[in-house]
Amino acid sequence: MPYANLKVPAGTLTPESKKRLIDAVTDAYAAVYGERARATTLVLLDEVPDGGWSLGGHILTAEILGRS
């Protein structure tokens, strides 16, 4: 079963954009593995709260990312 776990900043996606992202990832797996993989492709979107990210040991916030 193809599996994708995507981490995104909390509050940055609308329900419609989440659906588009999930569909795009599912389509990508189906393009590689064939249509038989579509029905078993699992996509999880984890929304990471502000300050729950780090890069190079530095905590990333909405302000740092330019989203505030």
Locus of tokens 């900043």: 9
What does the DSSP 8-state code read for residue 66?
A: T
Task: Give the CATH number, domain containing residue 20.
Answer: 3.30.429.10
pLDDT, tens digit (0-9, with 9 covering 90-100), for 2-40: 999 999 989 889 999 999 999 999 999 999 999 999 999
Average pLDDT over residues 38-57: 94
pTM across the whole model: 0.82
Helix H, strand E, coil C: the string for 3-63 is EEEEEEECCCCCHHHHHHHHHHHHHHHHHHHCHHHHHHCEEEEEEECCCCEEECCEEECHH
Structural domain containing residue 29: 3-65
The total of structural domains in the chain comes to 1
